[in-house]
Structure 1
Amino acid sequence: MKNSIPITPLLLSLAGLLPFVWGMLTRVSSPLMMWSELWLGNGLTGTNVQLTYGTVIMCFMSGVLWGFATKTKQTQAIICYSLSILPALGVFFLVSSNTENKLTFLMLGFFVLFFIDFLFSKLGLTPSWWLRLRGGLTALVLFCLAAPHITF
């Protein structure tokens, strides 16, 4: 099928969710959090691993968007290159700040990133399967970041 997500990007993207899932699990389970802090350290536990890895992913995605922007010319190029650096700059300024709302800002960043993905897709800069992959990944990342605050 023309729009099916190739297996390699799909599997690598799913593997890329592991730090978000691990962060969520250690945020909702006190015993798991204690084990993780003891054996892996505070940096690979809970909010810390989600913020650190989320920052890495936002910067990585800025590079991906920059690559898509290379397909543009003139005014469209100025706009697309400018949009491509927003995730990296945003995560640097918002997540690196002293605010207590870092996870909220990171979630906002992933919403903005998906909007840029959507725009680049509509401009024909991405593979035909891109939005399907990015939509699912974004939803799962947002769930992992928000899950500890959701009551069932």
Structure 2
Amino acid sequence: MNRYCRYILILLTLSFTMSANAKSKFTADIKMRNGHEYSGVEFTTPKSWDKEVAVKINGEKLKIKGDSIDHIVFWPTKYPDNPQIICWHTYGSIDNKTGEYKPNCGHNAKKGEPSKQWFAIHAAGEHVNLWSCFSSIKLTGETVSFTTTLS
């Protein structure tokens, strides 16, 4: 029995050591609405997006509320030439008659507040940018994929 306990202890020690030394898949520059910037921070995309983002700055974990972020430029740490940009923004639709953007209350309908979602830049032009909402980010090699569960 003592031998098994020793093996379990060794496995647990290795497991904690490997997870402590694990590097983030992404590096990011975060521009805050108040003008402050965080540059070159470790950025790990959460499995389920919510109203805040977790980052590691100088070894210290920090959670930043989406409403305080203007935008995040991030890239796979191993592929810095593949930057992506995301922002936390109100979603809605364009009124066909006026061409005006109208916020949607969606899941906040009972509160009467506009709903927000994470958006990624889908295409950028000289005068117009096309943003698309997403629910998860996946890294395969150097390719960053955005998926959505919205219909």
Q: TM-score, normalized by length of structure 1? A: 0.26
Structure (1 or 2) with the larger CA radius of gyration? 2
Scaled by the length of structure 2, the TM-score of the pair is: 0.26
More strand by share: 2
Structure with the higher helix share, 1 or 2: 1
> Which structure would you say has the larger RCO, counting Cα contacts within 8 Å and 6 or more residues apart?
1
